[in-house]
Amino acid sequence: MTKKHLIAILLGTVGFLLPLVLPLETLSLAGKINLGIFLMAAIFWILEPIPIYATSVLVMLMQIFLLSAESPIAGALGDFQAPAYTLYLNTLANSIIILFLGGFVLAAGAVKYQLDRNLSRIILKPFGTKPGSILMGLMLVTALLSGFMSNTATTAMMMAVILPIAAAAPEGDRFRIALALSIPFAANIGGILTPIGTPPNAIAINALVSRGIDMPFSSWMGYTAPLVISGLAALWFILIRMYPSSQARLPLQLEGKFQTSPKAIALYVIFALTVLLWVTEKLHEIPSGLVAFIPVALFPVFGIIERKEIRSLPWEVLWLMAGGMALGVAMNQTGLAVWLVELVPWAAMSPMMILAAFGVVAILLATFIANTVAATLLIPIMMTLVGSGIGDGFAIQTAALMVAVGASLGMSLPISTPPNAIAISTGLLNSSHMLRVGVVIGLVGYVLLLASAFLIWNLIF
């Protein structure tokens, strides 16, 4: 363990103990303990002395032993009605976790049988050989795939697609930079489109469900599609202007064919059925989490994915999300979220100012730390703020969308998202290129976010 890690662990320990020794008279002992867990988790998530998913599991362990009815110190927590330890453990089997697990399984099957590559080949074919058209096609395919696969997996696949295109461009052609930036940024924006596109979306939906508000799969897509489409259009325009091609035409070589084995055909049928049921949830009213269990159950049954693929699923992402959900549960249970909200004179601010402030914070925070962590920290506070009545003037759904989408727009640095890191690793661009475009698209995205909140979401809800 390095000196940097030891310092981070020390800071996290201090963060945990600090609320217990400070004179926070208005906060209960349970609230102080949870504030300590919150501060420790934030420090560990930002500095990463241990993996971020390990921090999430540690959060759940501390909540069980310090804030549950089965805790050894439960009797010392005063008036706090400690919940059963299963309240925290149940986040590991939350319907949102199952929804994401279904998405991971679909993606694993699609990659194994090259469904993703073949879909890319078909969708890109009509875009011809003009640089601007190729760029548009790549972005649309990336964004669409990113809505149903992990951003990281989509970027890794699409980077393999653009490398021969970039190699066909002359040495020094600035369009190579546009190609390399289009994939991670389109993946980040495309992840906004569906509930399974990126973890912040699931965290927002879970926060709404905990307040008795359901947001179907198709509804989320309807609410976010205008922003995603306009964001992609803005990104395309920015890249074409900043990094134009010196060539009138570029060859686009995409080869392959759909597999026709029984397992591949079973994959196509189950994949299509799952997506169809997701986007028609309003018609049949089968919850998206239940639909997601179809591929989870049937893929192993039909041998579409086997032990190797199951072991390689990104389980750590599910642990990370579960820990964040457990933290949000405890913040509400202990009154910590209300206490944090009351620290700021929100009542003196207009609804637009409150939403605008959280949007800025979400984008800035997600630029420097994982967007999942940013959403985990901000959404419970925002939900409590709206639930307290201070946020009158905008709906709770608008608040959840504001923070979740804002967390996906912070992508100016290589460390901001895994897709950014993959793009940097190709050697086609450097961090200054990413920063330049990332700041511009972040500002444009923020304007689009505000417009969506006040011109679309607040009128719908």
Residue 185 shares a structural domain with residue 292: yes
pTM score of the predicted model: 0.74
Give the range among 59-68, 149-158, 360-369, 388-397 with minimum mean pLDDT: 388-397
Query: Do 73 and 6 share a domain, yes or no?
Result: yes
* Number of domains composing the chain: 2
81 with 142, same domain: the answer is no
User: Do 224 and 246 share a structural domain?
Assistant: yes
Query: Which of 135, 331, 155 shows the shortest CA–CA distance to 247?
Result: 135
Same domain, yes or no: 177 and 84: no
Using the predicted structure, report yes or no on whether residue 313 has a pLDDT greater than 90. no
Q: Give the pLDDT confidence score for residue 444 in this predicted structure.
A: 94
Does residue 252 have a pLDDT over 90? no
Evaluate whether residue 402 is within a structural domain. Answer: no
pLDDT at 207: 86
Residue 374 has pLDDT above 70, yes or no: yes
Confirm whether 51 is domain-assigned.
yes
User: In this predicted structure, what is the pLDDT of residue 389?
Assistant: 65
Q: How far is CA 36 from CA 30, 57, 126, 371, in A?
A: 10, 16, 56, 22
Asked whether residue 350 is assigned to any structural domain, the reply reads no
Question: How much is the average pLDDT of 12-20?
Answer: 93
* 436 in a structural domain: no
pLDDT value at position 162? 77
Same domain membership, residue 234 and residue 159? yes
- pLDDT at 180 > cutoff 70: yes
* Pair 257, 111 in one domain: yes
Domain boundary among 292, 311, 330: 311
pLDDT of residue 415: 67
Would the pLDDT of 253 be above 80?
Answer: no
pLDDT of residue 74: 82
Q: What is the pLDDT of residue 392?
A: 63
Q: Are 8 and 113 within one domain?
A: no
* pLDDT exceeds cutoff 70 at 296: yes
148 pLDDT higher than 70:
yes
pLDDT of residue 201: 92
Which of 415, 263, 299, 320 has the alpha carbon at shortest distance from 41?
A: 320
229 vs 44, higher pLDDT: 229
Give the pLDDT band of residue 14 (cuts 50, 70, 90): very high
Residue 189's pLDDT band (cuts 50, 70, 90) = very high
Instruction: Give the pLDDT of residue 255.
Output: 67
- Statement to judge: residues 122 and 47 lie in one domain: no
- Please tell me whether residues 41 and 175 are part of one structural domain: no
- Above 70 in pLDDT, residue 55? yes
Evaluate whether residue 407 is within a structural domain.
no
Instruction: Identify the band that residue 60 occupies on the pLDDT scale cut at 50, 70 and 90.
Output: very high
Domain termination site, one of 36, 71, 92? 92
What is the pLDDT confidence band of residue 66, given thresholds at 50, 70 and 90? Answer: very high
- Identify the residue whose tokens are 């307290």: 388
* Any domain includes 153: yes
Structural domain includes residue 236? yes
88 and 103 housed in the same domain: no
- 3 in the same domain as 100: no
- The pLDDT mean for the chain works out to 84
Higher pLDDT, 95 or 297: 297
* Proportion of the chain above pLDDT 90, given as a percent: 26
* Residue 157: predicted pLDDT: 73
Which residue range is the domain that position 86 belongs to?
1-92
* CA angle in degrees (0–180, nearest 5) for 170-173-179: 105
Let me know if residue 247 belongs to a domain.
yes
Examine the fold and report which residue of 311, 339, 372 is the final residue of a domain before the chain moves on: 311
What CA–CA distance (Å, rounded) separates 209 from 458?
19
Mean per-residue pLDDT for 196-208?
Answer: 87
The pLDDT assigned to 238 comes to 94
